[in-house]
Structure 1
């Protein structure tokens, strides 16, 4: 496939995937008015486990003959996914959708730090400066020490750290582990961990509205996963990755339309700073790859 055409298709798929993930978050936040946290994640986790399991069987990827090293990484990735789900949805239940989405856009910034500290990757002064500016943007969104500070912003920040661990484990896996199997393992871990957590909650009746929102969450998160995987397979990762920032625009729009929330001036400026820093880091990495 022509690189230009592939990149265009990849960009479109990444935008769809990013939007789908944010629509999943919208459904989950709406569910906070109907169901408790662990019950919500358990029910969604069971649905995702069943669907991903069927897909893995259909494509012949439901196999278990992996090395001990790969199994360790699968376990770390799956546990990190479960912890990240609990942390992020806890934040989502208690803060504005746009702000929670914006904090998650700090992933390229955090991964730059992870790459420098743990993977010993060379990070020049430009990316170092962009990383520092990005963290300032995060502080503008979280604004600690003010009356507007929401303790649940720290849960969102902890999610970014946990997702970094998840992605680092995925990065170290061998090519023998299919992506869909890794996703199935993670969905299973979410269902198990949140099922255990739901024992200590008072389960609520699942109304018709809750069923619609749960199926919406499952459909959107599956769409997000499939689209994002397809995006990096038809287009260059360095080109399509920046288009994941479409999720922030969707988050601001859905936050206003569904929940009547909008970021204040400082938070909106922080969103812009985080996205600009992340884009610079991604584009700088692409430039360095071309030089190599």
Structure 2
């Protein structure tokens, strides 16, 4: 009997992709823990001290692996100004995001932050020359409507701190665009090193004005674990993208919303309202459609 041509997938490739997906889920879980710790620490210290702990811990821990001694030339960059701007955008996103955690539930802040892919798609045209078609414009508008469902501007029961999450999404979108530009000239090690260095150095002069010495061993442990989780999460993210294409991994970033809802309920007693769930569903669906269009475009 004659059969049509069969298409076999390399078992090693399948194994690598499944491993990459598992690592991506681990990275997202690390980031969800990071957010929960940030919200928890906000109740014991100034938000700027929380940000300092995040960057200083990550910088010190990664310095043992990524440093100019073990990797000569790592600090050499072809675009130093853009490196500083990119790091400043990431710092701005972190500060505004942690400020939002002081007032909002984890799921609310994260649902708004998930609007980042839409903002990146808008900026990619004028900045990167990656113009989008009408289908993706429709997805962007639908995604924006999902953000409006979460924030509900003009409705009294939505906290004004939702503006912090909006600002965080804007900063993070600029950070992503700058990262894509730098990927053509600098290595990932160089870019990661500057991200942690600039954040740690920038927060240092602020500490004398906001410092509150923790006396609870558990709080000290959380501050140390804070930086470790950030470094560990980014490490898993890097390895995952080495094993599997970004288009395969991207949908799994939305599992962070599930973790955020779970941690919010277990740690803070927060129950997501129907508006947040509906808005998050619209944002996720729109983001997945944008991802689908990218894959179609890449295949073509």
Shorter-chain TM-score bucket reads over 0.9
Residue of structure 2 equivalent to 1:19: 29
Query: Contact conserved, 1:36 with 1:204, CA < 8 A, in 2?
Result: no
CA distance in 2, matches of 1:199, 1:62: 33
For residues 188-207 of structure 1, the aligned pairs below 5 Å read 188-201=197-210, 203-207=212-216
Residue of structure 1 equivalent to 2:54: 44
User: What is the CA distance between 1:22 and its match in structure 2?
Assistant: 1.0
Residue of structure 2 equivalent to 1:249: 258
| Pairwise CA RMSD | 1.8
Q: Mean Cα displacement is larger for which, 199-208 or 149-158? A: 199-208
Normalized against structure 2, the TM-score is what? 0.90
Residue of structure 2 equivalent to 1:86: 95
Structure number with greater Rg is: 2
- Give the alignment partner of residue 66 of structure 1, picking from 77, 94, 115: 77
User: What is the CA distance between 1:7 and its match in structure 2?
Assistant: 2.1
Structure 1's unaligned 5+ residue stretches are none
Looking at both structures, which has the greater relative contact order when contacts are Cα pairs under 8 Å and sequence separation is at least 6? 1
Query: Relative to 1, partners in 2 of residues 1:287 and 1:3: Cα closer, same or farther, differing over 3 Å?
Result: farther
Aligned length: 289
Secondary structure of the structure 2 residue equivalent to 1:12: helix
4+ runs deviating over 6 angstroms:
none
User: What is the CA distance between 1:106 and its match in structure 2?
Assistant: 1.4
Query: Contact conserved, 1:239 with 1:286, CA < 8 A, in 2?
Result: no
CA distance in 2, matches of 1:80, 1:123: 24
Query: Contact conserved, 1:42 with 1:194, CA < 8 A, in 2?
Result: yes
Residue of structure 2 equivalent to 1:279: 288
Query: Contact conserved, 1:127 with 1:284, CA < 8 A, in 2?
Result: yes
